[in-house]
Amino acid sequence: MTGTGIGAPVRRKEDQRFITGQGRYTDDLARPGQAHAVFVRSPHAHARIKAIDTAEAAAMPGVVAILTGDDLAADQIGGLICGWMIHNKDGSPMRAGPHPALAQGKVRYVGDHVAVVVAETLAQARDAAEAVSVDYEPLPAIVETGKAKGAGVVVHDEAPDNVVYEWHLGDKDATEAAFARASHVTRLDLTNNRLVPNPIETRAAIGEYDAGTGGYTLYTTSQNPHVARLVLSAFIGIAPEHQLRVIAPDVGGGFGSKIFIYAEETVCVWAAKKVGRPVKWTSDRTEAFLSDAHGRDHVTHAEMAVDENGKIIGLRVHTTANLGAYLSTFSSSVPTYLYAPLLSGQYDIPAIYAEVDGVYTNTTPVDAYRGAGRPEATFVVERLVEVTARQLGMDPAKFRKKNYIKRFPHQTPVIMNYDVGDYAASLEKAMEIADYKGFGKRKRESAKRGKLRGIGFSSYIEACGIAPSQAVGSLGAGVGLWESAEVRVNPTGSIEVLTGSHSHGQGHETTFAQLVSDRLGVPIDTVNIVHGDTDKVQFGMGTYGSRSGAVGMSAITKAIDKVIAKAKKVAAYALEASEGDIEFEDGRFKVAGTDKSLAFGEVALQAYIAHKFSGQDLEPGLKEGAFYDPTNFTFPAGVHICEVEIDPDTGVTTIARFTAVDDFGVVINPMIVEGQVHGGIAQGVGQALMEAAIYNESGQLVTASYQDYQMPRAGDLPSFQVGMTVTPCPSNPLGIKGCGEAGAIAAPPAVINAVTDAIGHEDIAMPATPQAVWRAVHKTRVPMAAE
Amino acid sequence: MAIVSMTVNGKPVTADIDPRTLLVEFLREHLRLTGTHVGCDTSQCGACVVHMNGAAVKACTTLAMQADGTTVTTIEGLASGADLHPMQAAFREHHGLQCGYCTPGMIMTAVDMVNRLGGDLSEETIRTELEGNICRCTGYHNIVRAVETGAKAMVGAPVRQAAE
């Protein structure tokens, strides 16, 4: 099966429909008789709702219904939930305020849902939504992460000081002792800027109710359809789980923002039954800015202790994490268990102590965004390492190498047990590809042209494939994190694979088929991957945290192993041999030591016609399922090197070179993996140089369109130099680690380390916009100007 | 209501529409040509790019009435018959797409670029010319490769566009 098996850059099966305009995204669907929903959203960051007058709007052309929070409450529809319980330092549980799908009594951020208008056409729904009159009593708002704690403005009565939790991890005493004996301490105040995920397909939902069967259907832009069904049924109470079908068809990117269960899809399902027809909602871009869960938004004070030999001996971090106005589905876990356990980075640090305060503010809820916690941790560690090396007068690469973990498995002081890695190998390869040796010459050439050139490293590690269910359960997760798969072999030998993973750009239809083709020795075109429909796939946990390969494909592997075991029994009957003598090789079942054999497809037919064995001795058919629960996280790691050139007259930073060397373990399709790295780097460069969700003091999001929020475009980026090293992951059957987040995690510190190297400053806040860079440059260059 | 007539992907169409109907709404909702996507409301992202009288336009900020009497080509009409247009083939070959949502607009922009500038496009030219299209998945690296290859293929072997 060379050419399409594991390791081959197979061109994607799914591309045919996407490049010809035949994709089927949620908004492309039109259900018979559908009505259109438009949400009335709060223009205030914080206000009491005194009255909602819908009379004028209800009388407008085409209006079918206008529903408010009172209607939700009357139908006893529950609020949205947060699925991960975090405990305070003292062991008490976090404090969560209620999160109704339509506001009840109060609005808490600009864009909060006040009412929904359902009308015959979208234009009519928009017109009527404008005519809904809401009497607000505006309240003072708090938006700033660092000032939220005890601000006086109370977002939720349940948390009067706006503190959701005060959490910690690590050994405080040991860390303080390390700092006490340090010969050098580096201190940095860091902001991890708030981002908007911005998949180009905005969120959309169509709710449908069949009065004949009592069944509900939700078509939606989800990374996680089964969990959406579970939450909508078990917690929000819209429909019994077995009568709710959730379909996530083609999905146009997610980056985390489509994991969560939002108000809009909840309301569409509920409203569909109320109005007796399908209800469709599609977010416009500004709505997406206001209502898709944002990412990052940390304020951190971080310290690194080093001994006289240049060895890191301690790390101390205090982070305030903005969780927004409500706790989104997994928000509580992001700045805690997805963040602090990665603070050891690739380094052997004996003592680490992290404190995290999660706070409410009058802003859009914040949740997982590409990398979720790991980019924030990596930014802290890699900025500290770079600055420490500079302060010690050491080459940053040498300082890293000196402090890398070199023996595995390695238990960090913050939960994680790294299974395998070779960090120096990635560093050396990256330095070679980036031509680190030639940097000095390039810098001098830039200087001749009046430009500032800088180089920056980032040695990142992340925890992917989340994770053993028992482990995450002990940390407060409300769900297990296994994956399921079913391999259905048809009588003709073609195969359908049903997976609980969800593809929204990752190319599962190709890579998963490559695995099946490789293992069963069948042509890749005879394998069909089915995902994204709860009526087809029994259960699944969706795609995020690079879990589809490490966990999803491992489940498929387990099911394939069962198929092969069963097929061997069938083959034994068909070939009149003993089962122990059957070998499976290159897609054929052979009798050892003979030339008797049957192709995989022939055995499949024998399994279904069941002529060669009694159905009592062996069950007919060839279909197997498996649930796979990982034994550990996986630990992709690598080194990214960014080289920038800055124009001191304009402050414009140009990425001159960007090199990424990653260790993702075994790679199924290198073409797709490289594509994931490219995309991640672009998002990381976006965070470093241009992207920021900015609120003004009254809580208005002033960057709520592509005219105000700068997205990376083709002209902002170079082509990337990508390399790989491979240490196979020992904790799953395929040796896969995961690749989806690497670029978004590694790039921001690499870019900022390069910018600070170029301008000679120790720190510059992200995004390092031309204005910020110009200011920083001219602060340092003033004395030079006077020369 | 207002009557509009145009030729879309080689077929004449006439419809009675609300005058505020955007071209993208007309294509998607009235003609059910859903390959043209909406990614923003401000003409910034380019997911809605189609060709009107042979030139690229953003269908999310063009009124359907502005297209009255014109010839419109969408991603569905780019290739003739079952064959792929060379630019489509190049996007597939170079992995120039991931989620596929921005892809129709990217391809229509790329074809327009070649129609205007010819097939020998430098990386810098391609990156500059893609200013009006946002992709959130690919980091553009592979899109640039795809456009380079597709441009050469278009010029080397001229391909008839269905409606042009």
pLDDT at B112 over 90: yes
pLDDT at B158 over 60: no
* Token pair belonging to B12: 């004449």
CB-CB under 8 Å, B141 with A15: no
pLDDT score at A466: 79
Please report the residues numbered 282 through 301 in chain A whose beta carbons come closer than 8 angstroms to any beta carbon of chain B: 282, 284-286
Q: How confident is the model at residue B127 (pLDDT cuts 50, 70, 90)?
A: very high
What does the pLDDT look like over A242-296, one tens digit per residue? Answer: 999 999 999 999 999 999 999 999 999 999 999 999 999 999 999 999 999 999 9
CB-based contact A464:A637 (threshold 8 Å): no
**How far apart, in whole angstroms, are the C-alpha atoms of residue A755 and residue A732?**
39
Helix H, strand E, coil C: the string for A615-646 is CCCCCCCCEEEEEECCCCCECCEEEEEEEEEE
pLDDT score at A479: 84
Q: Which of B42, B79, B99 sits opposite A251 (nearest CB)?
A: B99
CB-CB neighbours of A147 under 10 Å: 16
**How far apart, in whole angstroms, are the C-alpha atoms of residue A562 and residue A552?**
16
pLDDT score at A475: 87
- Pairing mode of beta strands A483-489, A495-499: antiparallel
Residue in the block written with tokens 């951190």: A300
Residue of A nearest to B139 (CA): A679
Element (DSSP H or E) covering residue A424: helix A423-433
Find chain A residues with C-beta within 8 A of B139's C-beta: 675, 677-682, 717, 720, 743
CB-CB under 8 Å, B28 with A678: no
**How far apart, in whole angstroms, are the C-alpha atoms of residue A712 and residue A195?**
13
Strand residue runs (E) in A228-351: 244-247, 279-282, 298-306, 312-322
Residue A728 contacts B where some CB pair is shorter than 8 Å: no
Contacts of the segment A53-58: beta carbons below 8 A, 24+ positions apart: A53/A132, A53/A133, A53/A134, A53/A135, A54/A115, A54/A132, A54/A133, A56/A131, A56/A133, A57/A117, A57/A128, A57/A129, A57/A131, A57/A132, A57/A133, A58/A128
Residue in the block written with tokens 């509900």: A216
Q: Which of A22, A252, A707 sits opposite B101 (nearest CB)?
A: A252
Nearest-neighbour CA in chain A from B140: distance (Å)? 6
Q: Which of B30, B40, B42, B88 to mutate to test the interface with A (most CBs of A within 10 A)?
A: B40
Residue A202 contacts B where some CB pair is shorter than 8 Å: yes
Find chain B residues with C-beta within 8 A of A17's C-beta: 100
**How far apart, in whole angstroms, are the C-alpha atoms of residue A646 and residue A365?**
35
CB-based contact A385:A350 (threshold 8 Å): no
Q: Which of A11, A24, A505 sits opposite B99 (nearest CB)?
A: A505
Find chain A residues with C-beta within 8 A of B107's C-beta: 19
- Pairing mode of beta strands A352-359, A312-322: parallel
pLDDT score at A2: 53
Entry field: residues in chain B: 164
b/e code B94-120 from CB counts within 10 Å (16+ = b): bbbbbbbbbbbbbbbbbbbbbbeeebe
Residue of B nearest to A289 (CA): B40
**How far apart, in whole angstroms, are the C-alpha atoms of residue A263 and residue A19?**
32
pLDDT score at A1: 41
Nearest-neighbour CA in chain B from A470: distance (Å)? 33
Q: Which of B76, B136, B138 to mutate to test the interface with A (most CBs of A within 10 A)?
A: B136
Name residues whose C-beta falls within 8 Å of residue A653's C-beta, 6 or more positions apart in sequence: A644, A645, A646, A689, A751, A755, A758, A768, A770, A773
Please report the residues numbered 374 through 433 in chain A whose beta carbons come closer than 8 angstroms to any beta carbon of chain B: none
Q: Which of A251, A507, A715 sits opposite B128 (nearest CB)?
A: A715
CB-based contact A465:A630 (threshold 8 Å): yes
pLDDT score at B164: 44
Q: Which of A250, A675, A707 sits opposite B42 (nearest CB)?
A: A707
Q: Which residues of chain A have pLDDT under 50?
A: 1, 784-787
